[in-house]
A and B are shown apart, each in its own frame.
Chain A
């Protein structure tokens, strides 16, 4: 349902050629073998239901593949005795799970009101300009960057907070963007 996104308030992060993990067309390698499987089994001991391990399991998928593909949803569904449709309903609820491959450096700029009032939109613009992405949600031609605006990162006193993959940066100004990007490989 490609048309769904037309109503979205924020462009989704999707790209034609993601470089983290497998792409849309490449064969899928299961996540939960070996160490990952052991981690999941350990996790299951923390909850009275298997379903409760769904969010953590999806995190493991994303850490492994860089995004959560449909085959991954099916894998998790089978392990946790859920249906793939159920898992997809959950995945699409939470904005941090990528439903498409994203750039190697996934840059999220908080632009919610408090940061917006402190110039966050200029920071987002600076990232778009210096990464060459040009547009929100579009991955740069080299597959290196994807920039999105994100809703409140919970660090409003440190405007503008920016998350690059799992790294949390505080008080980012438009001027500091080139230097930040230069430090990323």
Chain B
């Protein structure tokens, strides 16, 4: 693997060069392309990707290096002391214009019906550096669309043979099911009959493809790239906590994509996480606070409901069943509730098979299929496959965003009361005396702690339905009703309060987390 080397350890020898008139100093062995990036100059490229071995085949990144006899492929050329590089010289521009023309001669130019349109590097670079006309007077090559299995469709005609997909499967997924077949202009990306792109991480080839050749079947013809709003987030589907981008259209999550984070997931996310987003858009949500009136739950305003919840809890031990999908902030507040009432906290988490991505150290779809198991544990919640237990008159069951699906509800016993804080209203919740609607993770700001102890922020990607409010705000207000100093308007306040009150998060601040996260004190490992 050729890793980008813009930031160098102290011992590395530094090399100084000039790129487009800008002085830049980078570690010895850095490619001109990466050095240019560090200098703020984008050198157009297709086959190069910082997460893959260098192929040097698209020849798009050709630049002029003074005193060199030929143009240099900047992805495959290391920097040298005193080098003077021209990215936008006439010679370099002509060469790249030539590459673009050749890439387009057999390209169908079907951008109006291509999912990649709007986020296509062939479009973008052609717009910036390509010819305004076509000199092709000959028929184009034609190949049919092929189903590569998994979530991947191969639109052969759009392929520019950059081989990023092949290299990903070979060296990162270590499951070489793709190849380059044939040669010359007959070459295509191929696979073997019966051996599909079923690797748990195979969907990354869709993101890696710089053009519209590899498409997601899941999002095929669903959205146009320019209609999407993009929000930095963290994948909630397992404890790895891959950095991701939530893409929404009209408040609906349409697509999840990995967000580069060298410390956690490099450039990748697994297919399970990528495709596990429909629940975020669920329409059967609790949209308003509810309180018990006789046999049924009726809508109430927030103040009434919070007061009713505090009344239900006051004087009893809070037995909290919390979802490990809740933020650190929400779990921290629930932990305070447990301490305040002398109660206890448990959580339940679904498990799956571990699915590593071999080419990246310590990156895997983890066994626990929820984002914040580590956070829950750090905050004193205990894991239980049967979080319901014999509750009695001295207990109040507080269920926080947990549907208790598939559990033996008769084991619950006879708690004094039930308080539901959640996004949905399962059948058993009819027994509750108060229901407080909260936002799901995509609808609020907050943090998760991943399996290795990295605390990462997620941003709000869509609006919560109805009167639902962020979990940290609802729980803060509830605790305030019980006499705690916990009214929060901002996620940052909630986090900073957490860092103050919970030793596991000591020393962290919301601002310092940035978009890549920070490790909790004493945590080990790269993730």
Interface 0/1 of B192-204, CB less than 8 Å to A:
1101000000000
Q: Are B192 and A9 in touch, CB under 8 angstroms?
A: no
A28: Cβ under 8 A from any B Cβ: no
Stretch of A39-47, A87-95, A131-139 on the interface side = A87-95
Contact partners of A148 in chain B: CB under 8 A: none
Which of B144, B179, B184, B195 has the largest count of A CB atoms less than 10 A from its CB? Answer: B179
Instruction: List the one stretch of A29-37, A78-86, A107-115, A121-129 in contact with chain B.
Output: A78-86
Select from chain B the residue with minimum beta-carbon distance to A77: B192
Contacts of A27 in B (CB 8 A): none
Q: Which chain A residue shows the least CB distance to B141?
A: A7
A70 CB contacts on chain B under 8 angstroms: 192-193
Asked whether, in the complex, the Cβ of A6 is within 8 Å of the Cβ of B184, the reply is no
A7 touches B142 (CB 8 A): yes
Complex contacts, B182 vs chain A, CB 8 Å = 4, 92-93
Does any Cβ of A come within 8 Å of B392's Cβ? no
With contacts A93-B182, A93-B183 known, is A6 near B141, CB below 8 A? Answer: yes
CB < 8 Å neighbour of A85 from B178, B184, B186: B178
Residue from A4, A82, A85 within 8 A of B195 (CB atoms): A85
User: In the complex the two chains form, what is the Cα distance from A84 to B175 in whole Å?
Assistant: 11
Instruction: Tell yes or no: B133 within 8 A of A by CB.
Output: no
* A85/B183 in contact, CB under 8 A: no
**Chain B positions within 8 Å of A92 at CB level:** 181-183, 190
- Given the interface contacts A1-B144, A3-B143, A6-B141, does A88 sit within 8 Å of B183 by beta carbon? no
Bound together, the chains give a CA A52 to CA B496 distance in angstroms of 60
Most buried by B among A74, A82, A85: A85
State in angstroms the CA–CA spacing of A64 and B144 once bound together: 33
B140-168 contact mask (Cβ, 8 Å, vs A): 1 or 0 = 01111010000000001000000000000
Number of inter-chain CB pairs below 8 Å: 63
Residues of A within 8 A of B143 (CB): 1, 3-4, 6-7
Q: A85-B177, A86-B179 are in contact. Are A73 and B141 (CB under 8 A)?
A: no
Give the size of the chain B interface in residues (CB under 8 angstroms): 25
Known A-B contacts A92-B183, A93-B183; A73 and B142 likewise in contact (beta carbons under 8 Å) = no
A3 near B144 (CB under 8 angstroms)?
A: yes
> Quick check: is B107 within 8 A (CB to CB) of the other chain?
no
Asked if B223 is an interface residue, CB under 8 A from chain A, the answer is no
Q: How far is the CA of A2 from the CA of B156 in the complex (A)?
A: 12
Name the contact of B190 in the complex, choosing from A2, A6, A7, A89 (C-beta under 8 A).
Answer: A89
**Cβ–Cβ contact B184 & A9, under 8 A:** yes
Please pick, from A3, A73, A93, the residue contacting B192 in the complex, using a CB distance under 8 A: A73
Q: Is B284 part of the contact surface with A, judged by Cβ < 8 Å?
A: no
Which of the residues B175, B178, B186, B191 comes within 8 Å of A8, measured between beta carbons? B186
Identify the closest chain A residue to B185 (Cβ). Answer: A7
Cα A73 to Cα B142 in complex, Å, equals 27
Q: In the complex the two chains form, is B195's CB within 8 Å of A1's CB? A: no
* Size of A's binding interface in residues, CB under 8 A: 21
Interface string of A1-29 (1 = CB under 8 A from B): 11111111100000000000000000000
Bound: A3/B180 CA distance, A: 16
Q: Give which listed residue, A1, A2, A9, A83, contacts B188 with CB less than 8 A.
A: A1
Closest approach, in angstroms, between the C-beta of A152 and any C-beta of chain B?
15
Instruction: Report A-chain residues with C-beta under 8 Å of the C-beta of B178.
Output: 85
A88 engages B192 (CB within 8 Å): yes
A86 to B171, CA, bound (A): 13
Let me know if B29 is at the binding interface, CB within 8 A: no
Given contacts A4-B182, A7-B185, A83-B177, contact A88 B142 (CB under 8 A): no
Distance to closest chain A CB from B306 (angstroms): 60
> CB within 8 Å of B: which of A122-180?
none
Task: Say yes or no: A84 contacts B195, CB within 8 Å.
Answer: yes
What's the Cα separation between A8 and B146 when bound, in Å? 19
Taking CB atoms and an 8 Å cut-off, the chain A residues in 87-105 that contact chain B are: 88-89, 92-93
Residues of B within 8 A of A4 (CB): 143, 182, 186, 188
Cα–Cα distance between A6 and B156 once the two chains are bound (Å): 13
The answer, yes or no, to whether B98 is at the interface (CB within 8 Å) is no
Q: Please report which residues of chain A, range 54-69, place their CB below 8 angstroms from some CB of chain B when the two chains form the complex.
A: none
- What residues on B are CB-neighbors of A82 within 8 Å? 176
12 A–B contacts from the bound complex (CB under 8 Å): A1-B188, A3-B142, A4-B188, A7-B141, A7-B143, A7-B185, A73-B192, A83-B177, A84-B195, A85-B190, A88-B190, A89-B190
Residues of A that sit less than 8 Å from B by CB: 1-9, 70, 73-74, 82-86, 88-89, 92-93
Instruction: A3-B143, A83-B192 given; name 5 further pairs at CB < 8 Å.
Output: A6-B141, A7-B106, A73-B192, A74-B192, A89-B190
